[in-house]
Amino acid sequence: MPISLTLRRLLTTQPIDLQVFHPIAIQLVHLLETHDFTIDRVIELASEDQALAGSILKVANSTVYIGRVRTETIKDAVIRLGANHVSNLAMAASHAGLHASSHPVINDFMQLLWQHSYACAVGARELAQITRNGKFAEQAYMAGLLHDVGKLYLLKALERLNSLGVAQAALERELLLEIFMELHVEQGVRVMQHWNIPEIYTEVASKHHTDSFDEADTLLTIVRLANRACRFRGIGLDADETIDLFEEPEAEILQLEEDELEQMLDVMEKSKEVQLP
């Protein structure tokens, strides 16, 4: 059932600068896009916010990275994981902190959304590596992390409206899922364009649900399959155990093997253990 025009108008006219990104994480993304950045500048930026730096190190030392030497400083993290991945961890760590609300219902939805976004990020990165598409690994992580940012924006909009005594009924689960289905892609693209997020990530956000897609777009293919895997495992707001991941066109394009699928799913399960901030 389509959402009402009134509710659509209320949600899509909320301030575009509702906090869905951390300013330092955004600076790191833009810095690395210049391709002439210095490692010292990455370390300086990532260390600028003490709470964010602590959260980056917490992710870097989580079970997702088990087997690596323990990371004690941001400099260690950059040396061991690379500047691009530390930038990704900064976005993940800051993003996690933004998935919180004093409103208990909204907070529950945000926590599930964070769990899904993070699992999709680590799953997409792993999928890129195991399907011999390692050059896309860091981009896949960021694209997986941000593909549903439109849902976070809509939750932030609902949080604001509820604080004004408006749209309480929109927090019913079924209506909220309908809101997401109708609006999260367009609002995600709108927000990402406002913050000048690189176009490769905006492209994934805009097409991760389309019926047809460019099969030559490896990054999009990877994130689409990771997103489906999350739904298959029930990581996030909805679940569908009937999904056969090997029957998905993305699996065929990536020539995914059974052991590779299990490896990706294992990493995604481990991601649920990461609690931030």
- What count of residues does the chain have? 277
Q: How far apart are CA 200 and CA 44, in angstroms?
A: 26
Task: Give burial (CB, 10 Å; 0-12/13-18/19+) of 17.
Answer: exposed
Could you tell me the CATH number of the domain that includes residue 252?
Answer: 1.10.3210.10
Tell me, yes or no, whether 89 lies in a domain.
no
- Whose structure tokens read 């981009």? 139
Both tokens of 247, joined, read 């029957």
Q: According to the model, what pLDDT value does residue 106 have?
A: 94
What mean pLDDT do residues 72-91 have? 91
Instruction: Compute CA distances 211 → 82, 135, 188, 208, whole Å.
Output: 35, 26, 18, 9
Q: How far apart are CA 76 and CA 269, in angstroms?
A: 26
Tell me, yes or no, whether 246 lies in a domain.
yes
Q: What is the pLDDT of residues 184-226, one digit of tens each?
A: 999 999 999 999 999 999 999 999 999 999 999 999 999 999 9
Q: According to the model, what pLDDT value does residue 65 have?
A: 65
Tell me, yes or no, whether 109 lies in a domain.
yes
> How many domains, in total, are found in the chain?
1
Q: According to the model, what pLDDT value does residue 218 have?
A: 98
**pLDDT interval class at 68 (50, 70, 90):** low
Q: What is the pLDDT of residues 126-175, one digit of tens each?
A: 999 999 999 999 999 999 999 999 999 999 999 999 999 888 878 888 88
Range of the domain at 231: 5-18+102-271
Closest CA to 158 of 17, 14, 19, 22: 14
Tell me, yes or no, whether 168 lies in a domain.
yes
Q: According to the model, what pLDDT value does residue 60 have?
A: 82
Tell me, yes or no, whether 201 lies in a domain.
yes
Model confidence at 83: pLDDT above 90: yes
Model confidence at 120: pLDDT above 60: yes
Q: According to the model, what pLDDT value does residue 73 have?
A: 92
Produce one character per residue of 155-178: b if its CB has 16 or more CB atoms within 10 Å, e if not: bbbbbbbbeeeebeebbeeebbeb
Model confidence at 275: pLDDT above 70: no
**DSSP state, 171?**
G
Tell me, yes or no, whether 221 lies in a domain.
yes
What mean pLDDT do residues 33-41 have? 88
Q: According to the model, what pLDDT value does residue 69 have?
A: 66
Q: According to the model, what pLDDT value does residue 199 have?
A: 96
**pLDDT interval class at 98 (50, 70, 90):** very high
Closest CA to 277 of 31, 55, 3: 55
Q: How far apart are CA 148 and CA 153, in angstroms?
A: 9
